[in-house]
Amino acid sequence: MLRFLPTPILGIIGLVAFATNTIFWCLLLFAVAGVKFLVPIPAVRRRASLLLVQIAENWVAVDSWMMRVTQSAAWQVTGLEGLRRDGYYLICCNHNSWVDIPVLQRVFYHRIPFLRFFLKKELIWVPLLGIAWWALDFPFMQRYSAEYLAKHPEKRGKDVATARRACAKFRHTPTAIINFLEGTRRTAAKHVAQQSPYTHLLRPKAGGMASAIGAMGDMFDGILDVTIVYPDGPVDLWGLLSGQLGRVVVHVEQRPIPSEWLNKNYSEDPVFRAAFQGWIHQIWAEKDALIEHVLQEAKVK
């Protein structure tokens, strides 16, 4: 199998294969997205949206197959029982590296609806992928720093409103929306800069997830709380392409959405905001403890 080739050679083969796969499916996506954009007929646009998802799922399927033939990593996945392909899910997950995305796509492929991610607005300029994400209705978020909001208080709550509009598109289409609550990939430097109270996690940002619940919380079947751990350490994109991905542990816990949180406004309701933040921090404390347990258990093996 390819996984036994020398690392540099495997990396080059992986880079060419993934790049070719990306270009091929992106070109198909762009063609269908052009029809969807140019033809103002609702029936045509609905059919185009379905076709776009089918193309994206084929793209994910090929990527996942290439991961299997190039990686020797051992996978441990728990908590997938009872998931539905026609369900509505809001997913929260810790964020280690870009590899988290293909890991999530492989774990949930054909178990739940096609995955969409909350993305920083700047990522729309990523070559090929930015337009593909836009065509697939990925929700783009405008993030504002505390310093910027102090100077421009009129922008407060704008990112929350954006999340509401983005999620409203999926009210009549089974979907799964992922939110990396940390807002960025965890690094040791970011962890120190934030003075995070968690050992293995950055501080969570609750606004986007709370807005998704406010926009269509009554439609979600629940929250999928996902924890990804790389006991041998996370790898970057080159590490994935060159077969250096080590053990992968993914734990999924299904959580109900409290009914009293539906139709709440996170930016304007201080009681809801405090309750939601407390709930998120409790989840993050449990997630931090789980990561520590997995890492300690991995040392013994």
Q: Quick one: tokens of 76?
A: 């441990």
In this predicted model, what pLDDT tens digit does every residue of 197-250 receive, in sequence order?
A: 999 999 998 887 887 787 677 788 889 999 999 999 999 888 998 889 999 999
CA angle at 126 for the pair 99 and 96, rounded to the nearest 5°: 20
- 54 within some domain: no
- 233 within some domain: yes
- 113 within some domain: yes
What DSSP state is assigned to residue 258?
P
Q: Is the pTM of this model over 0.85?
A: yes
Q: Which residues of 103-114 are buried (b: 16+ CB within 10 A; e: fewer)?
A: bbbbbbeeebbb
- 123 within some domain: yes
The count of structural domains within the chain is 1
For residue 294, the enclosing domain spans: 73-300
Confidence of residue 78 (pLDDT cuts 50, 70, 90): very high
- 59 within some domain: no
CA–CA dist 19, 22 (Å, integer): 5
- 1 within some domain: no
Nearest to 84 by CA among 116, 111, 54, 50: 111
- Check residue 255 and give its pLDDT: 93
Which helix H or strand E contains 116, and what residues bound it? Answer: strand 115-117
- 265 within some domain: yes
In this predicted model, what pLDDT tens digit does every residue of 240-291 receive, in sequence order?
A: 988 899 999 999 999 998 888 877 777 778 888 898 999 999 999 999 999 9
Distance between terminal CA atoms of the chain? Answer: 26
Nearest to 204 by CA among 216, 217, 187, 186: 186
Question: Residue 211: which CATH number?
Answer: 3.40.1130
- 37 within some domain: no
